[in-house]
Amino acid sequence: MQSNSNRDLAVGVFVLLGLGLIAYLSLQVGGLSLREPGGLVLFATFDDIGGLSPRSSVRVGGVKVGRVESIDLDEDLRARVRLNLARDLELSVDTAAAIRTSGLLGDQFVALEPGAEDELLVTGEDFAFTESAINLDKLIGSVVHGEGLGGGD
Amino acid sequence: MTRGLANLGAATLRQIEELGRMIRFGARIVMAASRPPFRWRAFMAAVYDSGVLSVALICAAGLTVGFVLGLQLYNTLVRFGAEDSLGTAVGLSLIRELGPVLTGLLVTGRAGSAITAEIGAMRTGQQLDGLRMMAIDPIHFVVMPRAMAIFFVLPLLSALFVSLGIFGAYLIGVELLGLDGGTFLASLEAAVEFDTDVLQSLVKSVVFGVLLALIATWRGYSCEPHSAGVSRATTSTVVTASIAILLADYLLTALWSL
């Protein structure tokens, strides 16, 4: 009992360490954001989203700036993708959204290519320019059947 | 024939009765915890015994499991040219399954058995009766702080195990096998989600903590009051709690993926 204060110190360090590691696993590894949603919400409509799924990342020049929130079909049966981006992101109205793959077989993500206009996109707007996912089957099919790489659309 | 059936029935009823007594005991612990004063001194001592003294074991176990996962998964993934997703494979298996389960089993062996033996020895030495003579509820004074400590400590130790496991796999993958460190961490962070993976890990470790705290204290509290009874109770804690943890793990995983 003489080392009560030492014991309490050890318990304190232990608890702090444990809580810190839980916080690290949740925030850094788990990607939990303490900031409430309320970032920049934009929509992009694609003919073919390939393997894109909710929580896929959104990147500008390879840097992650947000994630895919949900994917629905619109009235024309095209895929309407809802993107939640960092609030302070400034994207011009002619920014293009494309679905890309990291590596040959890696995860699919939405790549944004900034445009040149001065006017900025605001929450709730749609991207004017989109580019669908490259469908590997279609690509191989078009080569095999000699239709050339531009075939498909 | 009839006697065999009767024996089976009696044995089943005894098991159910035992389960019922254990659950009522659990309810008494919860009631004791909500009744002031909360025994902070005893709680701190129990957190020290069950938690701080387990840190070395959990670190060593987490690190070695991380090493093994790093080597084994690398050898599998490299055949498909997918060694860049080592971080994903290691992180998901540690966070979802191995972290909470192995921590639960290790703490069962290290701290759960000790608590059963301690409470059992108190019962054998009639110290619990002595407390009752002084109008002190032994559940409030002896059982509750230890049960609360196990429940509190398990998620913390599980997080420690997972973090060291990831660190161990990082050492093997990046320092020994020459993967890119950034790729390892990026594939880990991209694949692990809070609401499916980290939350599942936390829920599991909390459930395992409840199970272990209940089983360890009940086995000690209800042991036969002689030395053989204490030893039987200790063995029973390790066996029952291990099975309960593995079963609960399966159930939680199945429910989560519904």
Is residue A132 domain-resident? Answer: yes
Q: How far is Cα B245 from Cα B122, in angstroms, rounded to an integer?
A: 27
Q: Which residues of A touch B192 (CB under 8 A)?
A: 29-31
User: How many Å lie between the alpha carbon of B1 and the closest alpha carbon of chain A?
Assistant: 56
Residues written for chain A = 153
Do residues B45 and B53 lie in contact, with contact meaning Cβ atoms separated by under 8 Å? no
Of B45, B52, B159, the CB nearest to A25: B159
Provide the pLDDT confidence category of residue A2 given band limits of 50, 70 and 90: very low
Q: Give the 3-state DSSP-derived string for B30-63, with helices as H, strands as E and coil as C.
A: HHHHHCCCCCHHHHHHHHHHHCHHHHHHHHHHHH
Provide the pLDDT confidence category of residue A37 given band limits of 50, 70 and 90: low
Identity at B158, one-letter amino acid code: S
Does A119 lie in the same domain as A53? yes
pLDDT for residue A117: 82
Does A107 lie in the same domain as A52? yes
Does A140 lie in the same domain as A105? yes
Q: Which residues of A touch B163 (CB under 8 A)?
A: 21, 24-25
Is residue A9 domain-resident? Answer: yes
Nearest residue in chain B measured CA to CA from A19? B156
Q: How far is Cα A43 from Cα A82, in angstroms, rounded to an integer?
A: 5
Rounded mean pLDDT, A18-23: 88
Interchain CB distance below 8 Å, B198 and A25: yes
Does A100 lie in the same domain as A83? yes
Q: Give the 3-state DSSP-derived string for chain A, with helices as H, strands as E and coil as C.
A: CCCHHHHHHHHHHHHHHHHHHHHHHHHHHCCCCCCCCCCEEEEEEECCCCCCCCCCEEEECCEEEEEEEEEEECCCCCEEEEEEECCCCCCECCCEEEEEECCCCCCEEEEEECCCCCCECCCCCECCEEECCCCHHHHHHHHHCCCCCCCCC
* B180 interfaces chain A, CB cutoff of 8 Å: no
Is residue A152 domain-resident? Answer: no
Do residues A18 and B157 lie in contact, with contact meaning Cβ atoms separated by under 8 Å? yes
Does A60 lie in the same domain as A14? no
Is residue A64 domain-resident? Answer: yes
DSSP B224: -
Is residue A11 domain-resident? Answer: yes
Of B47, B189, B202, the CB nearest to A29: B189
Interchain CB distance below 8 Å, A22 and B190: no
Does A45 lie in the same domain as A97? yes
Is residue A69 domain-resident? Answer: yes
Provide the pLDDT confidence category of residue B163 given band limits of 50, 70 and 90: very high
* B160 interfaces chain A, CB cutoff of 8 Å: yes
Does A105 lie in the same domain as A70? yes
Give the distance from CA A149 to its chain's centroid: 28
Looking at per-residue pLDDT, the higher value among A118 and B59 belongs to B59
pLDDT surpasses 60 at A138 = yes
Does A28 lie in the same domain as A45? no
User: How many Å lie between the alpha carbon of A76 and the closest alpha carbon of chain B?
Assistant: 32
Do residues A71 and A54 lie in contact, with contact meaning Cβ atoms separated by under 8 Å? yes
Is residue A149 domain-resident? Answer: no
Q: Collect all residues with Cβ–Cβ distance below 8 Å to A47 and sequence separation of at least 6.
A: A78, A79, A132, A153
Does A108 lie in the same domain as A50? yes
Provide the pLDDT confidence category of residue A85 given band limits of 50, 70 and 90: confident
User: How many Å lie between the alpha carbon of A146 and the closest alpha carbon of chain B?
Assistant: 30
pLDDT surpasses 70 at A149 = no
Q: Collect all residues with Cβ–Cβ distance below 8 Å to B198 and sequence separation of at least 6.
A: A25, A26, A29, A30, A32, B95, B192
Does A136 lie in the same domain as A99? yes
Provide the pLDDT confidence category of residue B162 given band limits of 50, 70 and 90: very high
* B54 interfaces chain A, CB cutoff of 8 Å: no
pLDDT in tens, B75-118: 888 888 777 888 888 988 999 999 999 999 999 999 999 999 99
User: How many Å lie between the alpha carbon of A63 and the closest alpha carbon of chain B?
Assistant: 12
Rounded mean pLDDT, A85-114: 81
Burial B17-40 (b: 16+ CB within 10 A, else e): eeeeebeebbebbeebbeeeeebe
Number of domains in chain A: 2
Give the distance from CA B86 to its chain's centroid: 27
* B42 interfaces chain A, CB cutoff of 8 Å: no
Q: Which residues of A touch B190 (CB under 8 A)?
A: 57, 107
Tokens of B207: 């459930």
Of B48, B163, B190, the CB nearest to A25: B163
| Residue A46 structural domain | 40-144
Is residue A151 domain-resident? Answer: no
pLDDT for residue A67: 81
Rounded mean pLDDT, B53-74: 92
Does A63 lie in the same domain as A101? yes
Does A62 lie in the same domain as A4? no
